[in-house]
Amino acid sequence: MNETTNLTPAPAGREEDLTPEQLAAQWESEAPRAAGPVANLVSSAVAVVLGAAGLILSLRLGLGTPSQPQPGLWPFVMSLVIAVLGLAQMVIGRHGGDGEKFSRLSWLVLFGTATLVGLVALMPVIGFEIPSLLLCFVWMKFLGGESWRSAALYSVLVIAAFYGIFILGLGTTIPHLF
Convert the pLDDT of each residue in 64-123 to its tens digit.
888 888 888 989 999 999 999 999 988 887 665 666 777 777 788 889 989 999 988 888
CB-based burial of residue 78 (10 Å sphere; 0-12 exposed, 13-18 middle, 19+ buried)?
A: middle
Specify which residues 20 forms β-bridges with: none
Tell me the residue ranges of DSSP E strands in the chain.
none
| Domain spans of the chain, in order of start | 37-92, 106-169
> Which of 118, 20, 33 is CA-nearest to residue 10?
20
Q: How far are the Cα atoms of 21, 23, 77 from residue 27, in angstroms, in the given order?
A: 10, 6, 37
What's the whole-number mean pLDDT along residues 9-22? 67
At 112-167, the pLDDT tens digits run: 989 999 988 888 889 889 999 999 999 999 989 999 999 999 999 999 999 999 88
Look at residue 13 in the predicted model and tell me its pLDDT.
53
Length of the chain: 178
Q: Specify the pLDDT at position 54.
A: 93
Please tell me the distance from the alpha carbon of residue 22 to that of residue 177, in angstroms, as a whole number. Answer: 55
* CA nearest neighbour of 7 among 26, 22, 18: 22
Report the helix count and the strand count for the chain, using DSSP H and E: 7, 0
